[in-house]
Amino acid sequence: MPLGERLGDKSESRYCGVETEFDDDMPQLLSFNISSGGFDFVVSPLMNPTYRPSLMENDSKGSGVLPFAGSDLVLSPSQWSSHVVGKISSWIDLDSEDETLRMDSEIALKQEISWASHLSLQACLLPAPRGASCANYARCVNQILQGLNNMQLWLRIPLEKSDDDAVGGSSDHLVGGEIDSWEWWNSFRLLCEHHNQLSVVLDILSSLPSANSLGRWFGESVRAAIIHTNSFLTNARGYPCLSKRHQKLMTGFFNHSIQIVISGKPAHSLPIGSSELAANDADNHVEGMQRHPLRSYLDYVGYLYQRMDPLPEQERFELGYRDFLQSPLQPLMDNLEAQTYETFEKDTVKYIQYQRAICKALLDRIPDEQVSTITTVLMVVGAGRGPLVRAALQAAEETGRKLKVYAVEKNPNAVVTLHSLVKLEGWENNVTIVSSDMRCWDAPEKADILVSELLGSFGDNELSPECLDGAQRFLKLDGISIPSSYTSFIQPVTASKLYNDVKSHKDLLHFETAYVVKLHNVARLAPSQPVFTFTHPDNSKKKSNQRYKKLQFEIPSDTGSAMVHGFAGYFDATLYKDVHLGIEPSMATPNMFSWFAIFFPLRTPVCIRPGSPLEVHFWRCCGSTKVWYEWCVSSPSPSPLHNSNGRSYWVGL
């Protein structure tokens, strides 16, 4: 049974598994661990641990059928698929100096995975690499991946601090005098060409690396975390519990759909006569059935899961968008559909901020003594279906100012809705609807205030600068633009899922496209930095919307090495004076969902070592018919220049 219920959470992290020894009676193994133990699946060896291919060469029968596993008929296909993760034999060592062991390992690995595939298992757990060199192991796994069905291969990686002597690794894998096991994973996945069916399972022991070091794993393809019984502490009542750092890590796993697997022998003896023991014994109503020795650990994991805060309504709404790549809007080339308007209009937070900004602008523009004599001319450029018109009129009512509104909209379908809205609300005397592109309209009078919502996830990526440049000619010299400025930001991220999703298209075009995406399974490797800023109105004589920025990011030294798959982009906008809105993580407007981040991929991910800065270049380029971005990395190793001349991705003027 799942760990519990959390509103809106239907992710795989609700399910908890248990690592078991080899048992040739698989039905009994499942009955004990799942039916009576309460676990959801077992991680179990498929082959008898005593089996070695080289010992079978003298098989006189020569049948070719190897006695390494029981029949597939002992469980139904759905039981194999939903309740068993195959555990590849731990004796396997494909980089051993011993040729017999190496050959035995290769044969056994391929036999076991072939058998697991035959059983339609969802995943197989591969043993951890045994040293710094894992080239032959990775070669064999990569061979297998080329012909594998939908089964996932999970590579076991220890998440612990180790002395150099304990593992015998090279200095490449050291961070502050300790082994950095992320390097094993990185070497392995590079040799396997970032294959999307190769994932990580982390072994959680009693000591944990730094928070920054742990954080980078949330951008990797981690499927499960194996927590050992000897990593648990004992609470005052004698029950197993975890340290505060372990608890925080587990919560992070739950939030990232990473399943927990409990492993090891019981390290705690529950107090005799405890209420929990009695309750669980009552659950085990089958006569003579023993209470599962690891049940108290499962119950504690369930307790940690259940005490997490429920997902907020906004997060539940966004669940389906997590790590899903979407092409950005082309607001000038394409007319938005009703469903898109509907989604944006539900974002009340955004319009509250706009209303606040308009209120402040009206108060600054018209002193109290002139309220009855002066009417402010406000133009909403890109009025859509009218939410900013409504915000402006509500601001006028709130401040007691007289307002004349021009609603300028190029989408003829939205204009139909605007006319209905004005009639329905009785705004005919206050609102004039203009069906025109703001860049072409010849305004009958100048505006005191120009209001727009043309911002994209990267600020200027939906051509707000070009549109407002065109509209600026009908703003008074002392007029106010809302927004008055906006700045884009980027930060380097580990985003294994996003990289593999882009890579799956097998072409250049997708690697040179910026995507709108609700970032979730990512590791943000350094604080974001500002890229391009635009201010409105812009009264400079030599006006250009082309931009270039060189940025240098320092990854914290205790993070260890990390893989940069691309860059997350955000924006922050000043609407008016101290009223702002944006999605840059350190100052994001709470509970606003109109914008997800933007993601700029790298064709070849860049590995960053501790103390080695990441130097990045971004360009905003303007042509007669389009605007586009180009980007590259110049240090620690140069990348290709992405999207040269806007060959793959551009926004049409």
Residue 597 in this model has a pLDDT that exceeds 80: yes
pLDDT, one tens digit per residue, over 205-232 is 899 999 999 999 999 999 999 999 999 9
In terms of DSSP bridges, do strands 485-494 and 515-517 run parallel, antiparallel, or are they unpaired?
unpaired
Number of structural domains, the chain? 3
| 492 in Cβ contact with 567 (< 8 Å) | yes
Within-domain flag for 332: no
The SS3 assignment for 351 reads helix
Q: Name the pLDDT band for 11 (thresholds 50, 70, 90).
A: confident
Within-domain flag for 261: yes
**241, amino acid identity:** C
Residue 562 belongs to a domain with what CATH number? 2.70.160.11
- Note the pTM of the prediction, 2 decimals: 0.91
Residues annotated as part of the active site: 453, 462
Within-domain flag for 469: no
Give the pLDDT of residue 392.
97
Residue 490 shares a structural domain with residue 448: no
Residue 457 in this model has a pLDDT that exceeds 90: yes
Within-domain flag for 610: yes
Q: Which domain holds residue 228?
A: 12-311
Give the pLDDT of residue 286.
40
Residue 353 in this model has a pLDDT that exceeds 60: yes
C-alpha 353/C-alpha 107 separation (Å) is 65
Residue 278 in this model has a pLDDT that exceeds 70: no
C-alpha 363/C-alpha 530 separation (Å) is 31
pLDDT top residue among 353 and 48:
353
Cβ neighbour number for residue 348 with a 10 Å cutoff? 11
pLDDT top residue among 179 and 491:
491
Query: Is 438 known as a binding-site position?
Result: yes
C-alpha 649/C-alpha 628 separation (Å) is 7
Residue 80 shares a structural domain with residue 213: yes
301, two tokens? 């994991």
Residue 448 shares a structural domain with residue 503: no
Residue 282 in this model has a pLDDT that exceeds 70: no
Read off φ and ψ for residue 85, nearest 5 degrees: -105, 125
Residue 535 shares a structural domain with residue 402: no
In terms of DSSP bridges, do strands 41-45 and 84-87 run parallel, antiparallel, or are they unpaired?
parallel
pLDDT, one tens digit per residue, over 506-559 is 999 999 999 999 999 999 999 999 999 999 999 888 889 999 999 999 999 899
pLDDT, one tens digit per residue, over 399-441 is 999 999 999 999 999 999 999 999 999 999 999 999 999 988 9
Angle between helices 244-255 and 295-306 (to 10 degrees): 70
Residue 249 shares a structural domain with residue 122: yes
| CA distances (Å), origin 338, targets 343, 385, 408, 414, 571 | 9, 9, 18, 8, 25
Query: Is 437 known as a binding-site position?
Result: yes
Read off φ and ψ for residue 89, nearest 5 degrees: -50, 130
Mapping DSSP onto H, E and C, the string for 380-443 reads EECCCCCHHHHHHHHHHHHHCCEEEEEEEECCHHHHHHHHHHHHHHCCCCCEEEEECCCCCCCC
Give the pLDDT of residue 285.
42
Paired residues of 434 in beta bridges:
408
Radius of gyration of the chain (CA): 30
Query: Is 577 known as a binding-site position?
Result: no
Residue 129 shares a structural domain with residue 180: yes
Residue 184 shares a structural domain with residue 255: yes
Give the pLDDT of residue 578.
97
Within-domain flag for 362: yes
Residue 441 belongs to a domain with what CATH number? 3.40.50.150
Q: Name the pLDDT band for 173 (thresholds 50, 70, 90).
A: low
Give the pLDDT of residue 24.
83
pLDDT, one tens digit per residue, over 327-350 is 887 877 888 899 989 988 999 999
Q: What is the DSSP letter of 322?
A: B
Query: Is 276 known as a binding-site position?
Result: no
C-alpha 184/C-alpha 181 separation (Å) is 5
588, two tokens? 């994001």
Give the pLDDT of residue 467.
93
pLDDT top residue among 297 and 275:
297
Q: What is the DSSP letter of 16?
A: E
Within-domain flag for 539: yes
Q: Name the pLDDT band for 560 (thresholds 50, 70, 90).
A: very high
pLDDT, one tens digit per residue, over 177-206 is 457 899 999 999 999 999 999 999 999 989
Angle at the Cα of 519 (from 514 to 523), degrees rounded to 5? 105
Give the pLDDT of residue 291.
84
Give the pLDDT of residue 185.
95
The SS3 assignment for 581 reads strand
Taken in order 511, 517, 523, 524, the sign of the CA dihedral is positive
362, two tokens? 């009206």
Q: Give the rounded percent of residues in the chain with a pLDDT score beyond 90.
A: 77
**Cβ burial, residue 117 (10 Å; 0-12/13-18/19+):** middle
C-alpha 598/C-alpha 461 separation (Å) is 10
Residue 95 belongs to a domain with what CATH number? 3.20.20.150
Give the pLDDT of residue 274.
55
Within-domain flag for 462: no
Query: Is 341 known as a binding-site position?
Result: yes
Residue 470 in this model has a pLDDT that exceeds 60: yes
Residue 380 in this model has a pLDDT that exceeds 70: yes
Give the pLDDT of residue 433.
97
Q: What is the DSSP letter of 170?
A: -
Give the pLDDT of residue 623.
95
Give the pLDDT of residue 179.
74
Residue 306 shares a structural domain with residue 346: no
pLDDT, one tens digit per residue, over 106-149 is 999 999 999 999 999 999 999 999 877 899 999 999 999 999 99
Give the pLDDT of residue 596.
95
Residue 177 shares a structural domain with residue 54: yes
C-alpha 646/C-alpha 621 separation (Å) is 8
Residue 582 shares a structural domain with residue 621: yes
| 447 in Cβ contact with 414 (< 8 Å) | no
pLDDT, one tens digit per residue, over 613-653 is 999 999 999 999 999 999 999 999 999 999 999 999 999 98
Give the pLDDT of residue 645.
97
Number of residues that this document lists for the chain: 653
Angle between helices 387-399 and 412-425 (to 10 degrees): 30
- Residue 636, preceding peptide bond in cis (omega within 30° of 0): yes
Residue 508 shares a structural domain with residue 432: no
Query: Is 351 known as a binding-site position?
Result: yes
Residue at a domain's end among 274, 295, 311: 311
Q: What is the DSSP letter of 496?
A: H
Alpha-helix residue ranges (DSSP H) falling in 119-195: 135-146, 164-167, 182-191
Residue at a domain's end among 276, 311, 346: 311
Residue 201 shares a structural domain with residue 280: yes
Averaged pLDDT for residues 236-264:
95
Dihedral-angle region of residue 460 (phi above 0 means left; psi in -120 to 50 means alpha; beta otherwise): alpha
Within-domain flag for 476: no
Cα–chain center distance at 597: 11
